[in-house]
Structure 1
Amino acid sequence: MRLPTDTVHLKLRTRQYELFGRPLGRGVERRIMLIGVVGAALWWAILLLLGVPILHRLAPLAFLVPPVVFVLYGTRREDTGRMVVAAWWDWLLFRAPSRRRAIGNPLLSLHGHRARPVPLMVTTQLVPTSPASRRDGGAS
């Protein structure tokens, strides 16, 4: 006998209520915080590698606005309940060339060499049967 369970409908979303001793009000979901930290770190690394000056007067705009927009749009929930960032990640994985690699045929030429034919030996054996043996289900 199977008993009903509610584990399919249970969605735990842990929240961070305090950060560095400062209260965060009703709390921020930890998954959203993680997405924000990773997105901001990647964006800042890209800007620093490109040589964008940190002390320029537009630097706060360049360093802070794109990660905030990424987090705001990426953490919205679709109709299915998934975050939009998951759909973006699926799209990137689908477009990656390593995911679309063709499976090679081992019988075709490799590195410019011609393929050698594979010899096959096929043998058959003819067994005569009578009409009576077909009705019985086989030879007797």
Structure 2
Amino acid sequence: MVGGQWQELQGRLAMRLRATLGAGYPPAGRRHEYVAPRILAALQDIQAGGKLSLPMVPKWPAAQLSRSDVAALYRLLRTVYLAELVFADAERARYWLCAPKARLQGRVPLQIAAHVEHAHQLEQWLMEINEGCHR
């Protein structure tokens, strides 16, 4: 049951990312140039909608983003979308993403989501929340 829930959630996340990124999903290799404007636009829409303040989202054009910048922004977008799916409410997801967590030594999930080493940890934690194990 638990594996099935996670697979369903991963499927819903993939559908949402595919809808946002189009043919560039998943962003790999040279496709970073194609998905960069789409990722940046999605994050700017989230920020403009007042859902989240994303100070790590650059103000410069997507064409100036490096491959590693695009990868970090993709991890950030993936984490935001996953939290919204897990909590089934953008406001609750925003609260969780923006509140310091003891499990993260007082750090805020949103501020570490772009880092490779933390993105997986946050995804695992969100899976546990989805399964009803932790908040």
**Which range, TM-score by smaller chain?**
under 0.3
Query: What TM-score, normalized to structure 1?
Result: 0.24
| Greater percentage in helix | 2
Structure number with higher relative contact order (C-alpha < 8 Å, ≥ 6 residues apart): 2
Query: What TM-score, normalized to structure 2?
Result: 0.25
| Greater percentage in strand | 1
Please say which structure displays the higher CA radius of gyration.
Answer: 1
